[in-house]
Every structure is written in C-alpha cells, then in structure tokens.
A and B are shown apart, each in its own frame.
Chain A
C-alpha cells in the first residue's frame, strides 16, 4: 500500500537535476578518453594546430602502426601481460591457501598465524630494507621481482577470509568431512565452486594492481627489456613532460615524442583494462562490500 510511495510517483524536477549531475560526473570520466582516442587517430598537423577535440581530424592509424613497427611497446605489453598472469595465478593460490584455513574457526593457533601475516601490512620495513632484501635474494633485475614479493597480499586474504566465513555455512564443511572428504577436497569441491564472485573480485584486484604498478620496476629493474609497460610509458610520457617543463616550450618536445604517439600509447596500455573491466564489473561491488565488513 504505502510501500512504494516514492517510486510510484512520476519523476520530479529534482530527479532530472540529480540525473544531470551524475551525467556530468560520468562525462568527466569519459571525455578524456574520447579526447585521447581522437588525438591518437588524428594527423600530426591537426593535433599541433589544436583543433582536435572529441572527433579525429585527418583520421589515420599511423600512431598505432608506429607502435607495432617500433615493437618496444608491443613487447612490453606481452611481457607485462605474462608477468600479470603469473602474478595473479600465484597470488590467488597463496591467498586461497591462507584464507581457507584461517576461516575455519576451530583451528588452533589461528589468531597467532593471522597476526603473523597481518603485521607487515601495518608495519612496513620501508624502501631501503626491502631494496637490500631484494638484492640479497638475487631478484634485482629479474622478472620475478615483479611477480613474487607482492604476490601475497594480506589485505586480499582478509577479504577472501571474510567471504568464506560469512557465506559458507560451517555445517556444509562439517558434513563433507563426515562423509570422508579431506580438507583439500572440501576446499576444491565445495568452497571454491561456491566462491566464484570473490575469486573473480580478488583476481581482478591482483591483476589490476600488478598491471598498474611501476614503482617496484623503478626501484629494482634497470634493464630495459625487463621493465613493464607502465614504467615504459612513464619514461616515454611523464619524463618527457618533466623535461618539457624545464624548457617551457611544447613544440620542441612534441617533435621528439609527438602527442599523437603519446595518446596512442596511453590508449594502447589502457586497452587490457578496458577489455576485462565490463566482464568482471558485476562481481567486484560485492567483493568491496565484503572487504568493508572487516578491512
């Protein structure tokens, strides 16, 4: 009766005002991409004359062809995808192996082990001790430095643990145990199939985290062939911008790294995110909300 008073009424003026504000905010997220895309597809002269806004002028694929011919970015893309896949796979295995046992309430020593895993999250050793550790582990200038040190995130483990203990009834696991299943079978046949949303969410967090980070590459990798795409991009675009600020003349800088090429490089490196994002999008809201219960 009175249940849906608000939503049954015809839209009010304030509904349109709210929709308009949201629309504007969405545009701030979309317009920069359309601008970059337009730039990346335009001719050099059109971009230099500053007449490209949201639609390409003198449309051509030259910048993208350059990217493929040059090979540096494509190589880096393949390499980064490889490192990201490896990182995500290892991260997921280790995270599941920690989250499941720690979600079993009767496990003795659960509190101590949790504490042991969580302490580094709240008290980091800092850049230099970590740098020296990486060197003594022999990981300096190795692809594995991008894969191993950060592959186990206690924070992601916490989110997964909350999911396990809040959504999977202990009685289910108990019943499987009494039927003679061991813990590995319980995990593989019962827990994991029931946890697809959280597995998708945490995989996304791991993959995006690895794909986007470049600080560790800046600290630990000096060999160009081993640098991930974000760091390459950083050196191509942001370092160029920094030196440009010194000379304060944009025209000289644009000759060395044309804006069209930079725009194409940014679009190119964002592509993987834009490709997987729509598919995992429906899962991660749930993941974040679980993380909020106990973060």
Chain B
C-alpha cells in the first residue's frame, strides 16, 4: 500500500530526505480526511468541551448577579453541604433503587421475548408482531405518559373502567397517583416501552448460534424447553453479560423526560431522583452551585462505573464497550 503511494509522489518530493518524506506522506495523501474531521471536532469542542469550564461552579458560591468573576471560591464546601442534604440522599436512594429494579425486570423480559420470537413458527405473524413490538420505542415519553394516564386514571382510565364493569374492583386503582402503585406502573411501562427494541440484540445473537447444535440436541431427544435451556441460553450468554454490565454502569443515571412525564405531587417521594434533583435545585430554584456539584458527582461516578464495566467485559472475553 505505502510503496505504491510513495511511487506516486516521487516526482514532486524528490528533494526531501527519505525520513522526512515518509513523515509527510500521510498528510499529502490524507489531508482531505483531516479536512472532513474539522466540522465534527469543532462541534464537539463548541457544544461539549466548552461546557466543562462551567464545572468550576461546583467549587464556588455562585451568585448569578455577581457572575463568575466576583463569586467566591469555597473549595469543597458545596459538597460538604450536599452530603447532609436530605433531598440529595433521597434522590440518590431513589435513583439506585429504581435503576436496580429497572435492570432486574428490564433485563430478563427482552431475553424471554427474543426466545419466544425465535421459537415462533408462523413466519408472517412473526414479522408483523416484531414491527408492532418495536413501535413503543419510537414514542416520546410525553406520548407514553399521556397514554398511561388515559389507561390508568382511577376514574376514567380504560383499565379501571373495564375492571369495574367486570366487577373485579369497586373503586378505581390509583395506578399513577399513589406512590407504591406508581412505582409498579412506572417500572412496567418502562419495560413495555423497551422490551421489543431490547429483544433485537438477543435475536441477533440467537441467529448466530449454529443450527447444528439444535440438530444435535434434537437427535439426542431434547424437547423444546431443553433446547432453549441447553443451546439458546448458553449461546446468548455473552450478550446477556455485556448488556448487564453496560446497565450496571448506568445505575446512577436517570432519564429526566421519563421521570418528568410521570410526575405528579402524590408520587414525589419516589419520583424525586437525581435528574429531577438537579433540575429542581438548579434551573427551577437557581441554586446553580449545588446542582453543578451533584451533576459532577453523577458524571464522575458514571464515568468510573463505565470504565470498570468495560474492563470487566473485556476480561470476560467480550469485545468491550468503549
């Protein structure tokens, strides 16, 4: 490859000593590639890196009226205050608990769905149902929450109306307006929204399993359940482990839109998670320093978790995530 390139440039670079010529040859050949990269790199710097200096707010007593220049540096004082802030502790606890539950329910469901879809023998039905099952992933949280309210309102929600008219319940169940019911509904709607999309990865992994393994199992007299247990599940184990690790890396993250769309005053106890805390303290109440500090904490923990997760995944023989 390189020899041919050099040949092409011999004429105009003949006077440059060989070592230097080699060093510049790549520029001569690839300058257009670097030119292409200017725009993406510029956008990354302008819209991402330029925000990092703002992190110094976490170590200042920032007053918007004074600006950056006149606000006082306070060292770690903001962090010391946060550790004692009961709202913060509640937000951390809620984030951890809900992310853990999301993972505990949200991980197995797409796996089961992928196995069911793979076992489905009616090809046309399979294709149509996949199209339908992926759809919720493409709906915004505003739409999902609006749908949830129209289904689950205590008085007029479809589910409650049907259950009442069937005589199963006398009073509407407050699916979204009582915190324990809300927690269950919130988690289940999340699973519903993500299950079809999540199953694609597992289906892809299942397609990669050698057909001979299934034949061998069938010849050995294994029934369907045994084939799933002894061939399919071991075949997708690397995928499961990788996704588990990725999700563990996100255990402190939270989706603002999902939480915000499902917000109402009756469920604040559980709905108050880190993303809500940061918005609430920062943009809504103007306590910029505190919100920045919590954001920084969240980013740092998330970063460390992702790095660790990547190391673990690589050690377990998967490709790694980064």
Interface residues of A (CB under 8 A from B): 2-3, 5-7, 11-12, 14-15, 18-19, 21-23, 25-26, 28-30, 32-33, 35-36, 39, 47, 50, 53, 93-95, 97-98, 100-102, 104, 106-108, 113, 116-118, 120, 122-133, 137, 148-152, 154, 157, 174, 178, 182-184, 187, 208, 211-215, 218-219, 230-231, 233-234, 237-238, 241-242, 245-246, 248, 250, 259, 262-263, 266, 269-270, 273, 277-278, 281, 285, 288-289, 292-295
Contact = CB atoms under 8 A, between A and B. Distances in A.
- Number of chain B interface residues as a range: 35 or more
A154 B39 CA distance: 13
Interface string B16-59: 00000000001000101110110111011011111111110100
A100 B52 contact: no
26 contacts: A11-B122, A22-B129, A26-B133, A53-B162, A94-B40, A102-B37, A117-B40, A122-B306, A125-B48, A125-B54, A125-B299, A126-B55, A126-B291, A152-B40, A152-B43, A183-B33, A184-B36, A233-B143, A237-B149, A238-B145, A238-B261, A245-B264, A245-B266, A273-B138, A285-B200, A292-B239
A219 B282 CA distance: 10
A183 B288 CA distance: 46
Contact of A126 (B40, B200, B215, B278): B278
Given A2-B215, A6-B214, A273-B139, A53 B158 contact: yes
A133 B54 contact: yes
B36 A97 contact: yes
Which of B121, B195, B291, B306 gathers most chain A CB within 10 Å? B121
B125 A36 contact: no
Interface stretch (B80-88, B95-103, B112-120): B112-120
Interface of B: 1, 4, 26, 30, 32-34, 36-37, 39-41, 43-44, 46-55, 57, 113, 116-117, 119-122, 125-126, 129, 131-136, 138-143, 145-147, 149-151, 153, 155-156, 158, 161-162, 177, 192, 195-197, 200-201, 204, 211, 214-215, 218-219, 224, 239, 246, 256-257, 260-261, 263-266, 278-279, 282-283, 288, 291-292, 295-296, 298-300, 302-303, 306-307, 319, 321-322
Given A19-B121, A29-B135, A266-B147, 11 more contacts: A12-B224, A98-B40, A104-B30, A128-B54, A128-B282, A132-B54, A148-B43, A149-B47, A183-B30, A183-B36, A219-B279
Given A2-B215, A149-B47, A294-B319, A25 B113 contact: yes
Contacts of A212: 138-143
Which of B142, B151, B261, B296 gathers most chain A CB within 10 Å? B142
A219 B283 contact: yes
B54 A278 contact: no
Which of A101, A246, A277 gathers most chain B CB within 10 Å? A101
Contacts of B143: 212, 230, 233, 266, 269-270
A295 B249 CA distance: 13
A170 to B, nearest CB: 9
Nearest to B116: A18
B263 to A, nearest CB: 6
Contact of A208 (B1, B138, B306): B138
A35 B158 contact: yes
Contacts of A152: 40, 43-44, 47
Given A125-B55, A174-B1, A242-B263, A5 B215 contact: yes
A2 B212 CA distance: 10
Given A213-B140, A214-B257, A250 B41 contact: no
